[in-house]
Structure 1
Amino acid sequence: MNRHLSSLDFMQSFSTKLELALQNLTMAQYPPDARREMRKFSSSEVAALLDVSEAYIRQIVLKDKGPSPETTSNGRRMYTLEQILELRLMLGEKGRKKWMNPRRVDGEECQIIAVTNFKGGSSKTSTTIHLGHYLALKGYRVLAVDLDPQASLTSLHGTLPDFDPREDETLYAAIRFSDPKPTKSLVHKTHIAGFDVICAGLDLTEFETAVALEMRKNGGTSFLLRVSQALEQVADDYDVILMDSAPSLNFLTLSSLTAATGVVIPVPAHMLDVDSTGKFLELASSYMQILSEMGTSAQWDFAKFLVTKFEANDHPQANMTALMRQVFGEDLLLNMVAKSTAVADALTWKQSLYEVQRSRFSAPKTYDRAMESINAANAEIEKLLWAAWGRE
């Protein structure tokens, strides 16, 4: 039988066509000469972020003791994120509110959190980006490391200056065994103050081959320390480092789990997702057992499961959540991230929910519910950071 369709032609043709179409879409959203900016925040939003009253914010402005906000035609005061950070640091120096400046102090180590699960579609990237932006808005210094060759987290930041995934610019350049680059050279500033990123690309897959060759030549488990050693080079510059893992349990994921001080495992409350998570835990356990027998193990401050894409009115999901609550107990976060068209819309615009003005949504209450859900889950994770630092 003569088959007429060439697999090579098919893959090459549509790979090229799709890449071009997506490039054109990205160029339309973020032209090369466009400067992507974080939205501005109203005085009520600033008060909520700083956990003070709006009247107190107005008082600071009237006394000319803080940054000067932009005043709109209808008299609203709007602040940039940089101005909010300036306010936070200024109020933190006065010491009127403990941890107004939440950045870590002497004796507190940089928290490195792996967001992982090998089930695709479990909201790993959405969890990472929303947690990262939440923490940056709260005043932390955050680095997000994209470890997924599909580079979803990278693409959410539009066109980053001086980044080409084909030009040796991913974390692989810092963790390869031959001629590694300094990790700092791979860090990119984003349009969000306090939020930096190390981008991803297809060359991350080369780590798997490199590890196999290294183990054949020298044996041992030194590859497990590659991510940890790379992140140590920049840890002093950040309070929190977030790693968005690939949907697989490979050498790179194992190395990231070894580097982590904490782990968050997003799990949609569906039978197939929960079953897949069970397989992930089983496989990870077998790997960890082997590594433990070889004298290598990962120690974490915390490891938590997070229910994502939750629909409260869906009875099968409620039942599955109850099952997870029974099995995981306190290791399942109390707050669940609701499934929302607002989140889907924001990600389509290559933005997190924190970047989009509420007025842009046709159904603002949908935005409110989604934001409430995400804030609650992120606040719970923030408490885990404080517990790891030994804060009250």
Structure 2
Amino acid sequence: MNSVVSQIGDLADAGERMIERLRRKAFLPDSRKGLNVRIGIAEAAALLGCSTNRIRMAEEDGRLPPAPASETGRRLGYTVEELLHMREVLGASPRRAPLDVPAIIAVQNFKGGVGKSTVTTHLAHYLAVQGYRVLVVDCDSQATTTTLFGFNPHFNIKRDETLYPYLSIDPTQADLLYAVKRTPWPNVDLIPSNLELFDVEYELAAAGSDGGSVLAARFRKLKRGLSDLARDYDIVLLDPPPALGTISLAVMQAANALLVPLAATTPDFCSTVQFLSMMDQVLHQLTGAGIEVDYQFVRLICSKFDGNDPSHAMVRAIMEMSFGAALLPVPILESAEISHAAMRMMTIYELEKPIGTPKTHKRCRANLDEALRQVEQLVTQGWGRVQPLSEEEVIHAAA
């Protein structure tokens, strides 16, 4: 190996060391990611679909603990854990009923740079704030989602903590419980990834003449493992590699819903059309091989949309003409706040305070809530639910 080629490894090592330094700086004092966000009583009431007075009454009569307060008596706001407890006490939990099928959503596009991992992580945190039990499965050896959850895949995650021991040619695990990790969010768990997960692709490619049967077995195995885990969750989010490989195919078969992020550019649109065409061919091949694939919904969501860019508006109009109702009507807007949060290995839902201006933060959060609520509604519709009215909406309707 010549010196120029060997330099690639040096660059990778230097980059990994810098990621670890950034992680330690971001997660001081104990170098572990925490969740310090607080939710005010007005926002808590809106999330629970009740009035602030109902929360105060529950605190006064002892059903809820006294509101957290500072030394001066000012309300500090509620933690996510406290909010989850409030949901249970006030009967405002959105959890699926025992007979409802957990949503297992693959967030997939073979085009890189569309915000796939960013959408996955923000969707997980949005659903957590709404009160759902969420499992995120990072199936991509690039491990961006794992990093956003506060784990350095190079230093903190071993191959035996990923999907590898379950999917490899010589598996050492019979189920996926071994891989589930707690995250700073009390109702979000993670199966992490790292670069070594890619070894599964090599192993299955070298499976020999019976490779087809080995692949089919691995497809069924991942679906079975995820279905077993999903019993303890409401929603499972899968982040597969941005390429048509063995793991991607297994994820596509294991999911029961598909969410396709795409940016509002002509190359992204063209690439997504190619992705959909390839998916169609592959799904027909899987069905022909006796591997069942069934989706409750397939939707596309426009990400990184700049409403002030005429070219974005033009491409989005093309998307609407092409995809119709399959394109979710509310796009995720391009925002410096999302980029700034990502620099801190965080999502908007983890920020204690705005990074930019309060107006920019508020606009970004409102857009994310509206855009991601579209996915939540698809899930609850699958459970046969009609979105409940808040107390204020009921009073207004009766007036």
Does structure 1 residue 374 correspond to structure 2 residue 349? Answer: no
3-state secondary structure, aligned to 2:299: strand
Alpha-carbon distance between aligned partners in 2 of 1:129 and 1:112, rounded to the nearest angstrom: 15
Using the aligned pairs only, state the percent identity: 31
Is the 1:211–1:223 contact (alpha carbons within 8 Å) kept by the matching residues of 2? no
1:173 to 158, 165, 173: 165
Residues 40 and 77 of structure 2 are in contact (CA less than 8 Å); yes or no, is this contact kept in structure 1? yes
| Equivalent of 1:157 in 141, 149, 160 | 149
Q: Which residue of 2 aligns with 1:390?
A: 384
Matched, 1:6 2:10: no
Q: Is the 8 A contact 1:124 1:245 kept in 2?
A: no
Would you say the 8 A contact 2:108–2:259 is kept in 1? yes
Of the three residues 288, 292, 305, the one matched with 1:310 is 305
Give the aligned partner of residue 47 of structure 2: 49
**How many residue pairs align between the two structures?**
380
Shift of 1:218: 5.3
Equivalent runs, 1:198-277 vs 2, <5 Å: 198-214=191-207, 216-217=209-210, 219-220=212-213, 221-277=216-272
Q: In the alignment, which residue of structure 1 is the partner of 2:126? A: 134
In structure 1, the residue corresponding to 2:302 is in which secondary structure? Answer: strand
Q: Residue 102 of structure 2 aligns with which residue?
A: 110
Q: Deviations over 1:19-51 (max 9, x none)?
A: 122222222223583453322211122112112
Provide the residue aligned with 1:196 in structure 2: 189
2:86 maps to 1:87: yes
Runs of 4+ in structure 1 over 3 Å off: 31-36
Question: Secondary structure of 1:214's match?
Answer: coil
Q: Using the TM superposition, give the Cα deviation of residue 297 of structure 1 relative to its aligned residue in structure 2, in angstroms.
A: 3.7
Give the drift of 1:330.
0.7
AA in 2 matched with 1:55: N
Question: Cα 1:378–1:286, aligned 2, differ >3 Å: closer, same or farther?
Answer: same
Distance 2:318 2:31 in 1: 48
Partner of 1:30: 27
- Cα distance in 2 for partners of 1:230, 1:270 equals 37
SS at match of 1:264: strand
Q: C-alpha distance in 2, partners of 1:63/1:35?
A: 37
1:300 to 268, 291, 295: 295
CA RMSD, aligned part only? Answer: 2.0
Q: How far, CA to CA, are the matches of 1:106 and 1:363 in structure 2?
A: 43
Rounded to whole Å, the distance in 2 between the matches of 1:160 and 1:152 is 9
More deviation in 28-37 or 235-244?
A: 28-37
With over 3 angstroms needed to count, the CA separation of the structure-2 counterparts of 1:289 and 1:7, relative to structure 1, is farther
Whole-angstrom CA distance in 1 between matches of 2:5 and 2:157:
23
Q: Which digits, 9 at most, give the CA deviation of each residue in 1:96-132, with x for residues without a partner? A: xxxx211111210111000000111101111111111
Q: Distance in 2 between matches of 1:156 and 1:185?
A: 21
CA distance in 1 between partners of 2:218 and 2:61 (Å): 57
- Maintained 8 Å contact 2:163/2:197: yes
Pair 31,74 (structure 1): closer, same or farther in 2 beyond 3 Å: closer
Name the structure 1 match of 2:318: 323
Give the letter for the 1:119 counterpart: K
Asked if the contact 1:266/1:308 (under 8 Å) is kept, the reply is: yes
| Alignment partners' CA distance in 2, 1:329 and 1:203 | 40
Higher mean alpha-carbon deviation, 243-252 vs 208-217, is at 208-217
Distance 1:167 1:31, change over 3 A: farther
SS at match of 2:87: helix
In the alignment, the residues of structure 2 paired with residue 240 and residue 53 of structure 1 have an alpha-carbon distance, to the nearest angstrom, of: 27
Secondary structure of 1:25's counterpart equals helix
Give the AA of the match of 1:383. Q
Instruction: Report deviation, 1:255.
Output: 0.6
- The one-letter amino acid of 1:224's match is F
2: CA distance, partners of 1:118 / 1:143: 22
How has the CA–CA distance of structure 1 residues 265 and 333 changed in structure 2, closer, same or farther, with 3 Å as cutoff?
same
Question: Structure 1 residues 60 and 24, CA, compared in 2 at 3 Å: closer, same or farther?
Answer: same
Taking a change above 3 Å as real, the CA distance of residues 250 and 218 of structure 1, as seen in their structure-2 partners, is closer
Task: Indicate the residue corresponding to 2:391 in structure 1.
Answer: none
- Name the amino acid aligned to 1:75: R
Q: Which residue type is aligned with residue 362 of structure 1?
A: G
Aligned counterpart, 1:95? none
Normalised by the size of structure 1, how large is the TM-score? 0.92
One-letter code aligned to 2:144 = S
Q: Which moved more, 1:141-150 or 1:58-67?
A: 58-67
Contact 2:204 2:211 in 1 (8 A): no
How big is each residue's C-alpha offset from its partner over 1:323-343, in whole Å with a ceiling of 9 and x where there is no partner? 111111110001110000011
Write the letter of the residue equivalent to 1:143.
L
- Per-residue deviation at 1:292? 2.5
What secondary structure does 1:304 align onto?
strand
* SS class of match (2:172): coil
Moved more, 332-341 or 62-71: 62-71
Q: 1:388 to 1:207 in 2, by over 3 A?
A: same
Task: Give the one of 14, 17, 20 matched to 2:14.
Answer: 17
